[in-house]
């Protein structure tokens, strides 16, 4: 607690920066107000508009307050016992009729570590189903896969954000933090104030690109070719760090050969980035005493996202910019607990502590903590999109919590139909989202300010969100929901409702794993402004900086991965001649389920649009503000046109926060990366058609 009376130190409910904030009791309809918390080192008091307005969703009119059960085709209020009895009965009946894997669980990257941990345990112990994954698969799974194969361990940033201004050059690929996590931008400004340079890679000249010393605007889906072209230039100019390559890596010869096949003129033709800009980017990166590459959803949300990230990692390794201070590769995680959410068991192939579900030793360790036979644990299940695609077929009933796939999933129209085809859908959420509207049972749960729990931010810093106010009468926490359902399924023990008890069990389950939380406690987090994992014992100091002495592979060396550019899964053609890419805007967050209920945020970003270059608009006969149909192989949406020279003439952009007529994810391609199973959100082919006014 801070010294201010009736103010609780906590963290923002939105992105992975997990900015520190204070909540001060007001006693009004909105029970708290947001105040600055300057002492937290990540944001130092700064908040974006979403964070400063976060308390608005706590208002009674913005959220659910009673369970809902579908009767005669409509969702109607019900008591908790009635709702939970129905859920337990239908899940049990489905498993009995169709097998355990006919019951699915879909989680979220915004759940606390305690919730993610117990949700995975619930699926594998209470339901004994392999059918579990979560929406974080759509966030940074490609970066996680590439980081693991290169370094032996995945943590979004292997260093604190405070190290970024100490780099001599940062290449920021496919990220727009000026709109997605504004307090982070101070580190980019400080980088430049310190004499460092910033290179931004984005097909749009975003607010972040405006800050850059150099902006590269490749065609969507060509980031892999761009990274290979830069590595080619580094090799050709003799700028590789041969001592680092020899002493701390393996696989360079094959990777070097792959890069040399991507000569600069070819890369210019593929990406649309002029050769002089390619050369300048390579020079800035190599001239710096230390350099970083930071990626985000742009290069990662592709059907070749893992290889694309590997190519950027190869650039860091080849120049010796890894495993030393103020240098390296990092991923800017998007969702609030995108890091912790995938570490502790709600991902289809993982057990707590970032252990692999198909590893016998991992199964034995976790089963011992859980008090079950290792052989009783199901094997790996389907990835997120594959799980959603199986609904109504192999999976007949679904428990969904902390996600809104009607808006956020690729090929969203198809996913909506799959959800409708289920025999039974139960949604646990704070608000009546577009997905909850389809449910047979809706369970109202507490929000971030109404419960305590840990999150792991983009640096690997485990932090504590503290309860500031009680939830309204009729609302329960997710931990209480899981406990009640587990008890009805014959597992009354092992699902604590106290978050600290859940965290203590998580610590034991993670002990000795790659993401080891054994030495982290609520008390330590509070005293130290968070603790960086891995942290194996109470005496361990935590690990703010990974890989300084060795990488996490058994031999201590990083792995180069030879990769080759390949086209996007769907390239433009005569029928669909324009590339569509998607992203976020400053005032909205993810599917918008919460931010679209805040008046101040809606005033700033009231609805969807399609952004296009004036040259493209002229060819179509479209003026700014005209209604335009965006048509793809998967659907048709209508939305206002927004003309700007800040985008490539061959590309259009849509934000993905809205459902219905302006839904961007109606169009996005569910083609999957073969390693990460990430869908190709960032590149698909569309055409634009003017819509005659009435």
The answer to whether 139 and 384 have CB atoms below 8 angstroms apart is no
At 4 the pLDDT is 44
Query: Per the structure block, which two tokens stand in for 615?
Result: 């040259």
Are 191 and 284 contained in the same domain? yes
CATH classification of the domain holding 489 = 3.40.50.740
Whether residue 282 has pLDDT greater than 80 = yes
Percent of the chain with pLDDT over 90: 95
Look up the CATH number of the domain holding residue 304: 3.40.228.10
- Rounded mean pLDDT of 176-189? 97
Q: CATH code at 21? A: 2.20.25
* DSSP helix/strand/coil, 258: helix
Is the pLDDT score of 654 beyond 80? yes
Return the DSSP state at 326: T
Q: Per the structure, how many domains does the chain have?
A: 4
The answer to whether residues 661 and 594 touch, using CB atoms and an 8 Å cutoff, is no
Model pTM score: 0.96
3-class SS at 161?
Answer: helix
Same domain, 315 and 186: yes
Domain membership flag for residue 186:
yes
Residue 456 lies in a domain: no
What Cα–Cα distance (Å) separates residue 305 from each residue in 194, 261, 297, 329?
Answer: 32, 20, 9, 15
Output b/e per residue, 157-182; b: 16+ Cβ within 10 A.
bbbbbebbbbbbbbbbbbbbbbbbbb
Residue whose structure tokens are 């996600």? 403
Residue 5 has pLDDT above 90, yes or no: no
Cβ density class 559-579: b for 16+ within 10 Å, e for less: bbbbbebeebbbebeeebebb
pLDDT tier at 334, thresholds 50, 70, 90: confident
DSSP 8-state symbol, 158:
S
Tens-place pLDDT, residues 467-500: 999 999 999 999 999 999 999 999 989 999 999 9
Question: Among the three residues 43, 62, 81, which one is the final residue of a domain in this structure?
Answer: 62
**Is 581 a residue whose pLDDT tops 70?**
yes
- pLDDT score of 567 more than 80: yes
The predicted model gives 388-400 an average pLDDT of: 98
Question: What is the chain's mean pLDDT, rounded?
Answer: 96
Q: From CA 387, how far away is CA 397, in angstroms rounded?
A: 12
* Model pLDDT, residue 2: 42
- CA 255 from chain centre, in angstroms, equals 29
Comparing 9 with 61, the larger pLDDT belongs to 9
Query: Does residue 579 contact residue 689 with C-beta atoms inside 8 Å?
Result: no
Element (H, E) at 32: strand 32-36
Does any domain span residue 442? yes
Give the three-class secondary structure for 612.
Answer: strand
Asked if 77 and 15 sit in the same domain, the reply is: no
- Sorted by sequence, the CB contacts under 8 Å of residue 455 that are 6+ apart come out as 11, 18, 112, 113, 336, 337, 340, 462, 463, 465
Residues 88 and 50 placed together within one structural domain of the fold: no
Do the Cβ atoms of 115 and 478 come closer than 8 Å?
Answer: yes
Instruction: For residues 117 and 345, give the distance between their C-alpha atoms in angstroms, rounded to a whole number.
Output: 6
DSSP 219: P
Are residues 130 and 176 located together in one domain of the fold?
no
CA end-to-end distance (rounded Å), the chain? 58
pLDDT level of residue 1 (50, 70, 90 thresholds): very low
Q: Identify whether 513 is part of a domain.
A: no
Contact of 231 with 327, CB cutoff 8 Å: no
Cβ distance 647 to 205 under 8 Å?
A: yes
Q: How far apart are CA 54 and CA 232, in angstroms?
A: 46
Task: Say if residue 401's pLDDT is above 80.
Answer: yes
Average pLDDT rounded to a whole number, residues 181-208: 98
Handedness of CA 344, 140, 14, 658 (dihedral sign): negative
Tokens of 546: 């990974």
pLDDT, one tens digit per residue, over 492-531 is 899 999 999 999 999 999 999 999 999 999 999 999 999 9
H-type alpha helices, 489-562? 499-510, 522-528
Question: Domain check: are 165 and 293 in the same one?
Answer: yes
266 and 386, same domain (yes or no): no
Strand order in the sheet with 32-36: 7-11, 20-25, 32-36
- Show which of 306, 332, 358 is a domain's final residue: 332
pLDDT of residue 27: 79
- Say if residue 326 is in the same domain as residue 362: no
pLDDT attached to residue 6: 80
Question: What is the arithmetic mean of pLDDT over 646-655?
Answer: 98
In the block, tokens 């590769």 appear at 329
What value does the mean pLDDT take over residues 637-645? 98
Question: What is the rounded distance in angstroms from the CA atom of residue 669 to the CA atom of residue 304?
Answer: 13
Q: Kind of pairing, strands 453-456 and 397-401?
A: unpaired
286: pLDDT confidence band, cut at 50, 70 and 90? very high
pLDDT per residue over 24-73, tens digit each? 998 788 899 999 999 999 999 999 999 999 999 998 888 899 999 999 99
Distances (CA, A) of 626 to 337, 595, 606, 642, 649: 38, 26, 16, 8, 18
Report helix angle 223-236 to 275-287, nearest 10.
60
- Cα gap 133→409, rounded to integer Å: 13
549 within some domain: no
What does residue 666 show for φ and ψ, rounded to 5 degrees? Answer: -60, -35
CATH code of 619's domain: 2.40.40.20
Statement to judge: residues 124 and 164 lie in one domain: no
In a domain, 541, yes or no: no
* 91-136: pLDDT as tens digits: 999 999 999 999 999 999 999 999 999 999 999 999 999 999 999 9
Residue 176 counted as domain residue: yes
Torsion region of 225: left, alpha or beta (phi above 0 gives left; psi -120 to 50 gives alpha): alpha
Say whether both 216 and 359 belong to one domain.
no
As a whole number of angstroms, the distance between CA 483 and CA 477 comes to 10
User: In which domain, by residue range, is 384 found?
Assistant: 68-138+340-450+467-495
Whether 547 is covered by a domain: the verdict is: no
Whether the per-residue pLDDT at 3 is higher than 50: the answer is no
Cα separation, 114 vs 454, whole angstroms: 7
- Predicted confidence (pLDDT) per residue in 207-225, tens digit: 999 999 999 999 999 999 9
Task: Kindly list the distances between the CA atom of residue 520 and the CA atoms of 257, 366, 541, in Å, as whole numbers in the listed order.
Answer: 44, 18, 10
Show the tokens assigned to 624: 């700014």
Domain boundary among 282, 297, 332: 332
Q: In this structure, are 277 and 348 located in the same domain?
A: no
Contact 489, 483 (CB under 8 A): no
pLDDT band at 18 (very low <50, low <70, confident <90, very high): very high
Residue 304 and residue 346 in one domain: no
Of 424, 376, 374, 380, the residue nearest 399 (C-alpha): 424
């Amino acid at each position: 607690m801070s010294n201010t009376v009736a103010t609780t130190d906590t963290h923002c409910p939105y992105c992975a920066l997990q900015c520190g904030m204070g909540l001060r009791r007001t006693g009004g309809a909105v029970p708290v107000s947001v105040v600055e918390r300057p002492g937290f080192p990540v944001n130092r008091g700064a908040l974006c508009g979403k964070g400063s307005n976060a308390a608005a969703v706590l208002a009674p009119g913005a959220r659910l307050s009673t369970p809902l059960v579908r009767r005669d085709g409509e969702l109607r209020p019900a008591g908790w016992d009635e709702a939970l009895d129905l859920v337990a009965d239908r899940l049990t009946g489905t498993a009995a009729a169709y097998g355990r894997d006919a019951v699915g669980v879909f989680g979220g990257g915004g759940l606390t570590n305690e919730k993610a941990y117990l949700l995975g345990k619930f699926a594998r112990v209470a339901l004994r189903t392999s059918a579990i994954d979560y929406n974080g698969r759509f966030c940074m799974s490609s970066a996680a896969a590439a980081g693991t194969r290169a370094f032996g361990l995945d943590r979004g940033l292997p260093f604190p954000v405070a190290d970024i201004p100490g780099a001599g050059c940062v290449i920021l690929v496919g990220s727009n933090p000026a709109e997605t996590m504004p307090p982070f931008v101070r580190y980019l400004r400080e980088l430049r104030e310190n004499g460092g340079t910033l290179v931004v890679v984005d097909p749009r000249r975003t607010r972040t690109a405006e800050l850059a010393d150099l902006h590269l605007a490749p065609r969507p889906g060509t980031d892999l070719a761009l990274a290979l072209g830069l590595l080619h230039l580094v090799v050709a100019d003799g700028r590789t760090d041969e001592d680092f390559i020899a002493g701390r890596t393996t696989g360079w010869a094959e990777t070097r050969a792959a890069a040399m096949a991507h000569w600069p003129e070819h890369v210019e033709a593929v990406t649309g980035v002029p050769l002089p800009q390619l050369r300048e980017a390579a020079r800035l990166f190599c001239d710096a005493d230390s350099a970083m590459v930071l990626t985000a959803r742009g290069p990662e949300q592709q059907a070749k996202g893992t290889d694309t990230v590997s190519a950027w990692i190869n650039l860091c390794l080849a120049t010796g910019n890894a495993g030393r201070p103020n240098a390296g590769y990092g991923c800017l995680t998007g969702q609030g607990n995108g890091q912790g959410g995938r570490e502790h068991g709600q991902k289809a192939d993982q057990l707590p502590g970032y252990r692999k579900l198909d590893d016998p030793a991992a199964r034995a360790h976790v089963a011992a903590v859980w008090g079950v036979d290792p052989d009783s644990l199901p094997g790996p299940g389907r990835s997120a999109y594959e799980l959603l695609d199986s609904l109504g077929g192999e999976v007949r009933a679904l428990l969904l919590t902390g996600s809104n796939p009607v808006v956020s999933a690729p090929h969203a129209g198809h996913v909506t139909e799959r959800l409708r085809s289920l025999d039974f859908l139960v949604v646990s959420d704070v608000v009546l989202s577009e997905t909850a509207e389809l449910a047979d049972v809706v369970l109202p749960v507490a929000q971030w300010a109404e419960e305590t729990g840990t999150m792991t931010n983009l640096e690997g810093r485990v932090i504590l969100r503290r309860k500031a106010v009680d939830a309204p009468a009729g609302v329960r926490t997710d931990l209480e929901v899981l406990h009640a359902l587990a008890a009805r399924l014959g597992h009354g023990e092992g699902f604590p409702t106290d978050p600290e008890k859940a965290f203590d069990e998580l610590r034991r389950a993670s002990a000795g794993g790659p993401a080891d939380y054994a030495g982290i406690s609520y008390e330590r987090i509070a005293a130290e402004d968070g603790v960086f994992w891995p942290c194996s014992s109470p005496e361990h100091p935590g690990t703010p900086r990974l890989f300084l002495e060795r990488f996490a592979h058994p031999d201590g060396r990083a792995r180069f991965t030879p990769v080759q550019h390949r086209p996007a899964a769907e390239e433009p053609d005569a029928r669909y001649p324009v590339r569509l890419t998607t992203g976020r805007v400053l005032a909205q967050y993810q599917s918008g389920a919460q931010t679209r209920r805040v008046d101040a945020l809606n005033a700033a970003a009231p609805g969807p649009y399609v952004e296009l270059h004036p040259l493209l608009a002229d060819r179509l006969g479209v003026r700014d503000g005209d209604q335009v149909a965006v048509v793809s192989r998967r659907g048709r949406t209508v939305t206002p046109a927004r003309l700007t020279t800040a985008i490539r003439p061959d590309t259009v952009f849509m934000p993905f926060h809205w459902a219905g007529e302006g839904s961007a994810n109606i169009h996005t391609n569910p083609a999957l990366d073969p390693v990460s199973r990430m869908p190709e959100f960032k590149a698909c082919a569309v055409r634009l058609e003017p819509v005659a006014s009435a």
